[in-house]
Amino acid sequence: MRAAMPPINTKNMSTPLEEEESELRRGPWTLEEDTLLTHYIARHGEGRWNMLAKCAGLKRTGKSCRLRWLNYLKPDIKRGNLTPQEQLLILELHSKWGNRWSKIAQHLPGRTDNEIKNYWRTRVQKQARQLNIESNSQRFLDAVRCFWMPRLVQKVEQASPSSSSSSSSSYLKEMCTQSSVPSQLSSCCTVPSFPTFSPLANKTTDISNSSSVTTQNICPTDSINNISDQTEIPQHLTGSNVYGHTTLDQCYNIDSNDYGMEGISFASMSAVGFYEGTPSEGNWMCNEMSDDLWNMDDIWQLRSI
């Protein structure tokens, strides 16, 4: 992900004449506008955005000012790559709430709904396209939960074993301590328990020690999105939980240093019925996927067996 650059954009600066001609400015914000907005809010606070825009001397709509403040200028906005924890959280919360970006964003401090939405559209939906699966389909949701999320959990553990004090990992920890598996999550595959704050397990297990890996059943077959919107986050992820009936070896390559879907085998996908297509021209298997989540070598190797 590229670092967001300050909105310095002189070519979009209007001349006075142009400003007279068009009452309201549109397009990228200038540094001057950002300064005006920031200083005004620092003095008078947020709210009444239309009035604020006028009083601050901004030739912008109130909506535009609000969006700029909330998505970019607000002091607590966190910029830069989403951490594996955050990605995991997004996947999990999206599986529960769907495209409720603002609601999801509430659980990722410093991240905006817009940023999360962009992440979903550019990264997650890309995977769905390459799998020839509708990103809003249950099949894709299942794939995410059974294959992608466990890998993110691994990555989180490998990358920052002591990060449990962060807000997101604390949250995830909390998730694992709560239980109540939705009845619709019947077992269909087997995956390891994840250590500490895995949202997928309530057992603490060293993932690096395969002998200690325990299994649990989790299967997202039914619509997770149907889970009550009123349910607080962790309640559907629980101790016994979520991923279907293939073995650990089938499910993913535990030695992979990458995270996400990379390293997940075609065989395992097929085993649980996630992928029914065949590698062919134009589909995801034929694309180069340098930064993608599925390991092509594994896929072809397993297909040849």
Q: Which is nearer to DNA, 60 or 139 (CB)?
A: 60
Which SS3 state, helix, strand or coil, does residue 258 take? coil
| Residue 71 touches DNA, criterion: CB under 7 A | yes
DSSP assigned state of 255: T
Distance CA 241, CA 215 (A): 10
What CA–CA distance (Å, rounded) separates 54 from 40? 11
* Calpha distance 251→189 (Å, rounded): 9
Q: Binding string to DNA for residues 78 to 117, with x set by CB under 7 A, is what?
A: -x-------------------xxxxx---------xxx-x
Cα(91)–Cα(258) distance, rounded to whole angstroms? 17
Q: Least separation, in Å, of the C-beta of 63 and DNA?
A: 6
Place of tokens 């951490």: 83
Binds DNA (CB under 7 A): choice among 22, 55, 57, 63: 63
Please say which residue, 151 or 192, places its beta carbon nearer to DNA. 151
**Residue 200: CB minimum distance to DNA, A:** 24
Q: Under the criterion CB under 7 A, does residue 203 sit at the interface with DNA?
A: no
Alpha helix (H) ranges present in the chain? 16-21, 31-44, 49-55, 62-68, 84-97, 101-105, 113-119, 125-130, 138-143, 149-159, 167-177, 248-251, 266-271, 296-304
Helix (H) or strand (E) holding 215: strand 215-217
- Asked if 44 interacts with DNA (CB under 7 A), we say no
Neighbours of 57 (CB within 10 A): 11
Nearest approach, Cβ of residue 299 and DNA (Å): 18
11 binds DNA (CB under 7 A): yes
Q: What is the DSSP letter of 229?
A: T
* CB-nearer residue toward DNA: 53 or 242: 53
- Comparison of 39 and 79: residue with beta carbon closer to DNA: 79
How distant, in Å, are the alpha carbons of 46, 55, 92, 180, 273 from that of 268?
A: 51, 60, 21, 27, 8
The pattern of x and - marking residues 122 through 141 that bind DNA according to CB under 7 A reads xx--x---------------
**Closest CB 17 distance from DNA, rounded Å:** 19
Q: Does 68 bind DNA (CB under 7 A)?
A: yes
In the shown chain, the binding pattern of residues 262 to 301 toward DNA, with x for contact by CB under 7 A and - for none, equals: ----------------------------xx----------
Geometric angle at alpha carbon 150, from 235 and 269, rounded to 5°: 115
Residue ranges in contact with DNA by CB under 7 A: 1-2, 4-5, 7, 9, 11, 25-29, 47-51, 60-64, 66-68, 71-72, 79, 99-103, 113-115, 117-119, 121-123, 126, 290-291
